[in-house]
Amino acid sequence: MIAELGLAALWLAAALAGLQLVAGGLGLTTRGAVLGEAVRPVAVVQGLLALIAFACLIYVFAVTDLSVKLVALNSHSMKPLVFKIAGAWGNHEGSMLLWVTVMGLGGAFVALVEKRLPERTMLATLAGQAFVSLGFYAFLLIASNPFERLSPVPMEGNGLNPLLQDLGLAFHPPTLYLGYVGLSIAFSFAIGALVTREVGPAFAKAMRPWVLGAWIFLTVGITAGSYWAYYELGWGGWWFWDPVENASLMPWLAATALLHSCGVLAARNALRAWTIMLGVVAFSMSMIGTFLVRSGILTSVHAFAVDPQRGTFILALLAIYIGGALTLFGLRASTVTEGERFALVSREGALVFNNVMLSAILGIVLFGTLYPLVAEAMGAKVSVGPPYFNPMGALFAVPMLVVLMVGPLLRWRQDKFARIGKGLVIPAMLVAAMALGLVVVGGVALLPFLGLALAVGLAFASLLPLRGRNLRRTPLPIWGMVVAHFGIAVALFGMSSESAFSIEKLVAVRVGEVAQVGPWGVKLDAVEPVAGPNWTAMEARLLVRYGVGGKVLRVLPQSRSFWAPPQQTSESALLTRWNGQFYAVLGGEAPKAEGGDRWQLRLWWKPFAPLIWIGGLMIAFGGFLSLIGRVMADLRRIIAKDKIAWRRERQGR
Amino acid sequence: MSDTEHALNGTKRNLRWALWLPLVLFVGFVALVMVGLYRPADRNVASALVGKPMPQFDLPAALPGRPGLDSKVLANGKPHLVNIFASWCIPCRVEAPQLGALAKAGVPIEGISVRDTTENLHAFLDANGDPFQRIGADDDGKVQLALGSSGVPETYVVDGKGTIVYQHIGEIRPEHLGLLLEKLKEAQR
C-alpha cells in the first residue's frame, strides 16, 4: 500500500509541476496574469507531495518490504536500521527521487519566503524550476520507477554495497544533493532574470542566499566525501581525481565563482551577464557530473549503476535544459550587460581575476574528466590522473591564492597598491621565511613547497580585513569571508604537508614483531576474528607508540567480509595527534612461501593531514556565517518595513 | 574616469558572438557523449584469471547425499561450466532457465554455492530447477575471492585441463547462450 501511495504522490507532484510551469508561463502574459496567483501555492504543494513520495520510499526500506523491487535489490533484512534507511537513497532510483524531492522543496521554500524579487521574475523562476523538475519526474516515472513491485517476492534482499555501509557515506550523498539541487534554484533564477531582463543588485541579493546555501552543502559534502574515501577505501589518499569526485568538484568551482560574482553584482551592479552565465553553468555542472557518473560512460572506482539507456534519457534532459538555457543566454545576454565600470586595481578587479582563475580550473577539470572519452572516440584507452590535474590546476590556483591575499583589502571601483602595501609586509615575510625553511629542510617537491609557503602567508593575510575594526560590530558576512579564506589556508597547509612529508610503509610482520614508520613504533599484538551485524572480520590489534617516550595506544584495523552481497573491505584505523595522523590498514595473510604466519600491514604517518578536512569545514563555516548575517539583515529590513507601514497606517487613521 | 580605468565588463558589439560560445561548447560536449553512448563499447571486464588454471580448492558438499566440488574434477579432460550462485541472489533466479537449457544440452555444470544454508538451497533448487552435477559449499566466500569474482552470479568456462577459458559476469540471459556454447566448443579443442 505504502509503495502505491508513494507512486501516487509522485504522479501528483509531477502533474502539479506541469501546472506550475503552465500557470507561471501564462502568468507572465497580460491575459493570463490571474493564473500567476496560483504559482506559489502550487509550488508549495508540489514540494510536499515529493516529500511524501520520498518518505514512503524510506518507509518501505525501513521495514524491508521485499515486494518492492528496489528494496529487494538493494537491501537486506539483516542490515542495521540506519543503513536500511540510507539504502533508500544509496541507489540509482532512490537518489533520483531524493533529487526531485530536494528540488521540489527548494521551489516550495522559494515560493514561501522569497519576497525581494520582482513578481514577474519570481513567476519565471518558479516556472523554470517546474520545467526542470518535470524532466526528472518523467525520468523517474517512465524510466526508473522506485516503487516497482516484484513478483514473486524473494525471501531475502540482495544487500547494500558494503562500501556504502558507513555512516559517513550514508549521509554524504544527501548533503551533496542539497548542494547540487540548491544550484538548480540559482539556475531557475538566472532563467527567470533572462526571461524578464531584470538583472541588477536586487536580483543578485535575492539569489545570493540560495547560492550560498547550496555552496555550503557542496563544501561540506566534498569535505566529507574526501574524508570518507580517505579512511574507508583504505588507500591512504584523500583525493583521486576520480570522475565521481570531479563531478562534485566542478559545480563547486562554478558555485564559488558565482558566489563572488554575485557579490560584485549586488554591491556594484557589474558583471551582470557573467553572473547569469555562472548561474546556468553551476547547475549544468551538477547535471553533467551526475550524467557522467550515472550513464556508465566513464568508468570509476565508485561502483554506480551503469545503464546506457538511462544515460540516453538524462542526456536528452541535459540537452533540453542546458542547451535551452544557453540559447536563451545567447539571445538575451547582450540586453543585460550594461553595468558599472571599474578599474583593474579594485575589489571588482580582484574578484574578476578570481572568477577567471576558477573558471580556468573548472575547464581543466572538465577537460581531464572528459579526455578519456575523447581518446576512446579516437580509439585509445587512457586514464587521466594526478600528473595532469595537479600541475595544471596549480598553474591557476597559485596566482589565485596570491591575489586572494590582496583582494579583500582593496576598495571597490578603484584603488592603489601603495595604499595597502604596508599591510602585506608581514604575509610576504612569512611566505619568504617558510620558503627558506623548506629549502633548508630540502627534498620538498615544487607544488607542496608553493602550497606550504603560500598557506602561511594567506593565513595571516586573510585576517587583515579585521584590522582596525571593532570586532563586535564587524558584520557577520565579513567574519564569514575571513573564516572561509583562513580555512583555505588551513586546508592548503594540510594538503601540502600531507603530500610533502607523508611516510608510507608496507610490511609483513609476525605477531609480536615491531615495525617503524616515521616516529611511530608499531607492534602487531594479535590478529583475531570478530563478528559484526552483517559481516565478519579479521581484526589486528596494534600497539603503537609515538617517539621514544610516548604512551602506548591501541588501534584496531580490520579486514571485513560482508556476505550480502559478498565483498571484502578494509576498515582502516586512524590515530590523530595534534601534528598529524597515523593510519593503518590490515592486508591479508602474507603468502606462505615467504615464511608463513605473517600479516601484511600498510602503515602511514601523515603530518598535519587532518587540517585538510578541518580547513574544508572552516570554509563551509565561513559560508554559514555569511548566510546567517545576510538572512538576519533581510529579516531586520523586513521588520523595519513592516513597522513603517504600521506607523503610516496609524497616522492615516 | 582616469586613464587606468578599463571597461572590464560591458560587452562590446563585436564581442556578441562570444555569448554563443557556451552553447557551442555544450553542443560539442553532447556530440562527444553521444558518440560514447552509442558506440558499442567494450564493456567486458576481462578477468585476470582467463587463460590461467583454476585455483586449487576442495569444497565440501552443499547438500547431503550429493558430491562436493574439488578443483581436480575440472581437469578430467572435458570442458565444464562452473557457476557461482546463491539462493539469496535474485539474478541467479533469472539465469536458472538458461542453466537448465545448458544442462539439457549435455553441458556438465558444477555449482559453487556461496554463503548459503541447506534449507534455502533446497528451496532454491526446488523452485528453479537443479542443473548441477556437483555443488560445493563456499561458506566463507574464500573460493569466490580466489577466483577474483566480485559478486553472484558468475560463470566460468573451464577447459579439459582445468584452465579458465572465459568468465561471464552477471546472470546468463537467453542471448548469451550462443556465446557460451561457442566458448565451450572452443574449450573442447
B37 in contact with chain A, both atoms CB, cutoff 8 A: yes
Contact B90 A72 (CB under 8 A): yes
**What SS3 class is residue A525?**
strand
Contact B22 A334 (CB under 8 A): no
pLDDT tens by residue, B131-168: 999 999 987 767 876 776 656 788 899 988 888 888 88
- Phi and psi at B84, nearest 5°, equal -95, 125
* Number of residues written out for chain B: 189
Q: Which residues of A touch B11 (CB under 8 A)?
A: 273, 333-334, 337
Is the pLDDT assigned to residue A304 strictly greater than 80?
Answer: no
Is the pLDDT assigned to residue B89 strictly greater than 80?
Answer: no
Of A244, A92, A108, nearest to A181 by C-alpha is: A108
Q: Which residues of A touch B32 (CB under 8 A)?
A: 370, 373-374, 377
Q: Which residues contact A61 (CB under 8 A, 6 or more apart)?
A: A71, A75, A84, A85, A87, A88, A94
Task: Report pLDDT for A172.
Answer: 80
10 Å Cβ neighbour count for B2? 6
pTM flag (> 0.90): no
Let me know if A646 is exposed, middle or buried by CB neighbors in 10 A (0-12, 13-18, 19+). Answer: exposed
Check: CB of residue A264 under 8 Å from CB of residue A409.
no
Q: Which residue has the higher pLDDT, A338 or A281?
A: A281
**What is the C-alpha separation between A184 and A284, in angstroms, rounded?**
9
Contact A341 B5 (CB under 8 A): yes
A375 in contact with chain B, both atoms CB, cutoff 8 A: no
For chain B, the average pLDDT equals: 79
Nearest to B19 among A334, A349, A373 (CB): A334
Q: Which residues contact A10 (CB under 8 A, 6 or more apart)?
A: A49, A50, A53, A97, A137, A140, A141, A147
**What is the C-alpha separation between A334 and A274, in angstroms, rounded?**
11
Q: How far is CA A421 from CA A367, A405, A414, A427, A459, in A?
A: 38, 11, 15, 11, 17
Q: Which residues contact B179 (CB under 8 A, 6 or more apart)?
A: none
pLDDT tens by residue, A399-457: 999 999 988 888 888 888 877 778 888 889 999 999 999 999 888 889 999 999 999 99
Q: Which of residues 506-565 of A touch B (CB under 8 A)?
A: 536, 561, 563-565
| Torsion sign across C-alpha atoms A617, A620, A622, A624 | negative
The ipTM estimated for the assembled molecules is 0.81
**What is the C-alpha separation between A556 and A143, in angstroms, rounded?**
45
**What SS3 class is residue A114?**
coil
Q: Which residue has the higher pLDDT, A535 or A21?
A: A21
Let me know if A309 is exposed, middle or buried by CB neighbors in 10 A (0-12, 13-18, 19+). Answer: exposed
pLDDT tens by residue, A80-132: 888 888 888 878 888 889 989 999 999 999 898 887 788 888 899 999 999 99
SS (H, E, C) B46-59: CCCCCCCECCCCEE
- Residue pairs between chains A and B whose CB atoms are closer than 8 Å: 126
Is the pLDDT assigned to residue A339 strictly greater than 80?
Answer: no
Nearest to B23 among A323, A377, A414 (CB): A323
Residue recorded with cell 571588482? A348
Would you place residue A257 in the very low, low, confident or very high pLDDT band (cuts 50, 70, 90)?
Answer: very high
Q: Which of residues 291-310 of A touch B (CB under 8 A)?
A: 291-292, 295-297, 306, 308
- The H or E element that residue A642 is part of is helix A611-652
B48 in contact with chain A, both atoms CB, cutoff 8 A: no
**What is the C-alpha separation between A263 and A275, in angstroms, rounded?**
10
**β-strand pairing of A520-531 with A535-546:** antiparallel
Is the pLDDT assigned to residue A295 strictly greater than 80?
Answer: no
Check: CB of residue A307 under 8 Å from CB of residue A378.
no
A345 in contact with chain B, both atoms CB, cutoff 8 A: yes
Give one DSSP letter per residue of A55-99, joined into a string. Answer: HHHHHHHHTT-TTBHHHHHH--TTS-HHHHHHHTTSSHHHHHHHH
Task: Report pLDDT for A66.
Answer: 85
Is the pLDDT assigned to residue A168 strictly greater than 80?
Answer: no
SS (H, E, C) A327-391: HHHHHHHHHCCCCCCEECCCHHHHHHHHHHHHHHHHHHHHHHHHHHHHHHHCCCCCCCCHHHHHH
**β-strand pairing of B109-114 with B80-85:** parallel
Is the pLDDT assigned to residue A496 strictly greater than 80?
Answer: yes
Would you place residue A398 in the very low, low, confident or very high pLDDT band (cuts 50, 70, 90)?
Answer: very high
* Number of residues written out for chain A: 653
Return the percentage of chain A with pLDDT > 90, whole number: 43
Q: Which residues of A touch B144 (CB under 8 A)?
A: 566
B90 in contact with chain A, both atoms CB, cutoff 8 A: yes
Q: Which residue has the higher pLDDT, A153 or A624?
A: A624
Check: CB of residue A99 under 8 Å from CB of residue A181.
yes
CA A644 to chain CA centroid, Å, is 41
Mean pLDDT: which of A68-77, B19-28, B144-153 is highest? B19-28
Return the percentage of chain A with pLDDT > 70, whole number: 93
| Torsion sign across C-alpha atoms A199, A202, A204, A208 | negative
Beta bridge partners of A607: A580
